[in-house]
């Protein structure tokens, strides 16, 4: 069977959580089951990274595998399909815009929708999700180092931050959000997160009603007059880290499900078993009774597992030199899809330590051999692959070429050791780089950067960690630069402030630019797509001018699956094949 290619074009900004999508090639339709197909059975999926948290919404838990497991064990008002289009799930509930001036949106959960312990999903769950996602109670001043950030969310809070304290409906299952200003991403700005009754109990409260009263009665955070809200902080502290676990917690309330599958067993850093949620009727009915996940790490391990029949579906991150491995799989009757992901790998510099000075940041960036990294990692996976020249656009998007010509990226088009030495003026800084040591692509990039930077006088130190722990070090003090990747879902523009706004949840390197913050605030309220692109281009230029870091390359994805399974379709976003898990089935 030939390799199927899904070379997709993504129009507008790539994001970690939310992006704006234009078009995507579908790479052909999924295999069709002919004849009578029966429900039931199990499949096994290989995943590169290991599971670490039942809270994928937190900054520390927002990894790709945690998000995938969170997706199939949680349900909500909508999901995004493989073309990044919003699909409303009216079996779960409904949401509707009830006013434009001011912008008001009402959310109502259907009667009978519940957590796997039998507790109803209700207004308390909606209110907790809003409290976490809005930053409403935060009074932290990142620049001054004062105040408190309560819920450490990965998503950008600036949209929901413009809402007032929500109004709970008399039915106990609805909530209305009122925005102080228009918000471009209102349709994908909010959904249900973690169970409020669990967070309340684990946070030291008597019950969910106490949590509702606490949220309702607590004042909005005031940066000018910070004051610690101790009961709220206990609740937020549990929300932030209480759901973190590499294994199956002894307390089942920590891993409740509201989605089509429930986690049944975990062998830490090895495997996970999920079984069908038999009570789930508020979404598409899944075909399979059981899904097993194996954490395989390297590409070769995943390929060997599929070839040997230990797994049915793999989605490893390919690297240069792996083309023959996948060609061999296709020749054995497996389906292989290669596609451009809506994501990219990048090098970020912290605005502290050796990189507190802009000249040192500029010097280091001049030493980074971006084309050599692209050659080593991407190789022949994409024809004539080049370094990425934008922090907010991807190649093929209408604004990419024009932005790349004018944003200042040309300053780092070639390695410039002499220029770096001149900026250092005899200095020999030591730089610690954090990355996932278990990711061969990041390891290759690190080695090339270390070798090149040494020519200018830098001493580059390996601060990398294994795949289970490295992401939790982001934002900490144990490194000066990081190699990581963002991948977006394809709806909205919230990803940009999520990463670059001062104090934002995914702003791990301490970047802060007042002018950029103002443009991002304007972006959040702009619904005109052309104007959004103009604002994104302006933000991109400001990021380059600050010597923030370097985008390296757009990531390439590969999915392969055996003829034993059907219903598999790949999305270019962070969920990959998992977005339509309910359609997975055994081929007849």
The CATH number assigned to the domain holding 112 equals 3.90.76.10
Percent of the chain with pLDDT over 90: 70
Between 17 and 517, the more confident residue is 517
Q: pTM for the whole thing?
A: 0.83
Does residue 1 have a pLDDT over 90? no
Say yes or no: 417 and 521 in one domain.
yes
Q: What is the mean pLDDT of residues 284-312?
A: 94
| pLDDT of 23 | 26
What does the pLDDT look like over 417-476, one tens digit per residue? 999 999 999 999 999 999 988 888 899 999 999 999 999 999 999 998 877 678 788 888
Same domain, residue pair 406 and 390:
yes
557 or 491, which is more confident: 557
Q: Do residue 355 and residue 435 come from a single domain?
A: yes
Co-location of 95 and 163 in the same domain: yes
Using the 3D structure, point to which of 181, 215, 242 is the last residue of a domain. Answer: 242
Which pLDDT value is given to residue 469?
75
If asked whether residues 436 and 531 sit together in one domain, one would say: yes
Residue 550 counted as domain residue:
yes
CA-based R_g, the chain, Å? 23
Whether residue 5 is contained in a domain is answered as no
Does residue 420 sit within a domain? yes
Distance CA 322, CA 324 (A): 6
Q: Is residue 484 part of a domain?
A: yes
First vs last Cα of the chain: how many Å apart? 18
564 and 551 both lie in a single domain:
no
- The confidence score (pLDDT) of residue 225 equals 94
The answer on pLDDT for 10 being more than 60 is: no
- What's the domain range around 397? 343-555
| 254 close to 54: Cβ distance less than 8 angstroms | yes
Q: Residue 407 maps to which CATH number?
A: 3.10.105.10
Q: Among 16-30, 138-152, 172-186, 556-570, whose mean pLDDT is lowest? A: 16-30
For the ranges 14-18, 117-121, 285-289, 416-420, the lowest mean pLDDT is seen at 14-18
pLDDT at 268 over 70: yes
Across 18-27, 376-385, 391-400, least confident range: 18-27
Which residues, including other chains, have CB under 8 Å from residue 37's CB and lie 6 or more apart?
287, 566, 585, 586, 588
The pLDDT value recorded for residue 67 is 94
pLDDT, position 550? 98
For residue 345, the surrounding DSSP H or E stretch is strand 335-349
Residue 499 placed within a domain: yes
How many whole angstroms separate alpha carbon 400 and alpha carbon 13?
10
Number of domains composing the chain: 3
CB distance 172 to 209 below 8 Å: no
User: What are 362-371's pLDDT values in tens digits?
Assistant: 999 999 999 9
Distance (Å, rounded) from C-alpha 447 to C-alpha 443?
6
pLDDT at 22 over 80: no
16 part of a folded domain: no
pLDDT band at 37 (very low <50, low <70, confident <90, very high): low
Considering the domain boundaries, does residue 330 fall inside one?
Answer: yes
Residues in CB range of 422: below 8 A, 6 or more apart:
none
pLDDT at 132 (0 to 100): 97
At 2, is the pLDDT very low, low, confident or very high (cuts 50, 70, 90)?
very low
- E strand map for 7-134: 42-47, 78-80, 86-88, 93-100, 103-109
Contact 315, 50 (CB under 8 A): no
Answer with the one of 242, 273, 288 that is the final residue of a domain: 242
Distance of CA 406 to CAs 150, 399, 520, 537, 541, Å?
39, 11, 19, 9, 8
Instruction: Give the CATH number, domain containing residue 306.
Output: 3.40.190.10
Contact 223, 161 (CB under 8 A): no
Statement to judge: residues 551 and 562 lie in one domain: no
CA atoms within 13 A on the CB side of 529: 12
User: DSSP secondary-structure letter at 410?
Assistant: G
Q: Which of 242, 265, 298 is the last residue of a domain?
A: 242
> Which two tokens mark 222?
């005031």
Q: Do 503 and 369 share a structural domain? A: yes
In angstroms, the CA 141 to CA 328 distance is 55
- In order, the DSSP letters of 205-252 are -SSHHHHHHHHHHSPPP-TTS----HHHHHHHHHHHHTTB-SS--SSG
Out of 179-183, 418-422, 476-480, 522-526, the most confident range is: 418-422
Please indicate, yes or no, whether residues 95 and 170 belong to a single structural domain of this protein: yes
Name which of 352, 368, 362 is nearest 480 in CA terms.
Answer: 352
Task: Indicate if 104 and 236 belong to the same structural domain.
Answer: yes
**Each residue's pLDDT tens digit, 51-103:** 999 999 998 898 889 999 999 999 999 999 988 899 999 999 999 999 999 99
Q: Do residues 396 and 472 share a domain?
A: yes
- The answer to whether position 11 is within a domain reads no
Q: Looking at residue 526, what is its pLDDT?
A: 83
Distance CA(322)–CA(299), nearest Å, equals 8
Q: What's residue 489's pLDDT? A: 66
Q: Are residues 432 and 479 in the same domain?
A: yes
Question: In this predicted structure, what is the pLDDT of residue 428?
Answer: 97
Average pLDDT for the chain: 89
Q: Do 147 and 223 touch, CB atoms closer than 8 A?
A: yes
Task: Return d(Cα 122, Cα 113) in angstroms, integer.
Answer: 8
> What are 229-238's pLDDT values in tens digits?
999 999 999 9
CA distance 450 to 401: 30
Q: Provide the β-strand partners of residue 103.
A: 100
pLDDT at 490: 61
**Does position 44 have pLDDT exceeding 60, yes or no?**
yes
């Amino acid at each position: 069977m030939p390799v199927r290619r899904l070379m997709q074009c993504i129009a507008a900004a790539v994001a970690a959580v939310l992006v704006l999508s234009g078009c995507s090639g579908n790479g052909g339709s999924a295999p069709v089951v002919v004849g009578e197909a029966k429900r039931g059975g199990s499949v096994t999926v290989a995943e590169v990274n290991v599971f670490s948290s039942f809270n994928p919404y937190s900054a520390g838990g927002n990894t790709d595998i945690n998000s995938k497991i969170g997706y199939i064990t949680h349900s909500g008002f909508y999901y995004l399909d493989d073309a990044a289009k919003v699909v409303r799930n009216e079996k779960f509930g409904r949401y509707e815009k009830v006013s434009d001036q001011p912008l008001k949106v009402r959310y109502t959960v259907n009667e009978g929708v519940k957590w796997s312990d039998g507790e109803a999903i209700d207004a308390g769950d909606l209110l907790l999700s809003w409290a976490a996602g809005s930053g409403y109670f935060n009074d932290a001043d990142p620049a001054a180092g004062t105040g408190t950030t309560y819920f450490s969310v990965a998503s950008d809070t600036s949209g929901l931050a413009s809402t007032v304290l929500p109004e709970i409906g008399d039915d106990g299952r609805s909530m209305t959000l009122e925005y102080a200003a228009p918000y471009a991403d209102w349709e994908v700005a909010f959904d249900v997160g973690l169970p409020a009754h669990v967070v309340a109990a684990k946070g030291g409260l008597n019950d969910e009603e106490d949590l509702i009263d606490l949220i309702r009665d607590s004042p909005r955070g005031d940066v000018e007059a910070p004051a610690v809200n101790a009961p709220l902080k206990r609740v937020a502290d549990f929300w932030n880290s209480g759901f973190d676990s590499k294994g199956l917690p002894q307390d089942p309330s920590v891993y409740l499900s509201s989605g089509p599958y429930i986690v049944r067993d975990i062998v830490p850093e090895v495997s996970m078993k999920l079984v069908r949620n038999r009570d789930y009727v508020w979404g598409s009915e899944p075909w399979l009774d059981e899904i097993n996940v194996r954490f395989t790490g390297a590409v070769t391990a995943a390929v060997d597992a599929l070839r040997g029949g230990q797994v049915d579906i793999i989605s490893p991150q390919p690297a240069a030199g792996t083309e023959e491995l996948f060609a061999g799989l296709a020749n054995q009757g497996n389906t292989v899809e290669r596609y451009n992901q809506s994501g990219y790998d990048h090098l970020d510099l912290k605005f502290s330590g050796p990189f507190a000075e802009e000249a040192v940041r500029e010097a280091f960036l001049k030493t980074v051999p971006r084309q050599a990294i692209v050659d080593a990692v991407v190789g022949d996976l994409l024809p004539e692959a080049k370094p990425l020249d934008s922090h907010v656009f991807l190649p093929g998007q209408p604004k990419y070429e024009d932005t790349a010509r004018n944003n200042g990226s040309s300053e780092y088009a070639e390695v410039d050791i002499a220029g770096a030495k001149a900026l250092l003026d005899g200095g020999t800084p030591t730089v610690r780089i954090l990355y996932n040591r278990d990711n061969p692509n990041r390891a290759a990039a690190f080695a090339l950067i270390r070798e090149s930077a040494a020519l200018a006088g830098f001493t580059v130190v390996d601060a990398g960690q294994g795949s289970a722990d490295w992401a939790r070090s982001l934002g900490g003090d144990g490194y000066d630069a990081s190699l990581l990747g963002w991948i977006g879902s394809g709806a909205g523009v919230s990803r940009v402030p999520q990463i670059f706004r001062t104090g934002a949840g995914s702003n791990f390197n301490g970047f802060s630019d007042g002018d950029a913050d103002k443009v991002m605030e304007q972006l959040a309220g702009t619904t005109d797509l052309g104007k959004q692109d103009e604002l994104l281009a302006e933000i991109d230029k400001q990021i380059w001018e600050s010597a923030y870091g370097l985008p390296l390359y757009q990531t390439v994805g590969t999915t392969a699956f055996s003829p034993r399974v059907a219903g598999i379709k790949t999305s270019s976003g962070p969920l990959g094949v998992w977005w339509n898990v309910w359609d997975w089935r055994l081929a007849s």
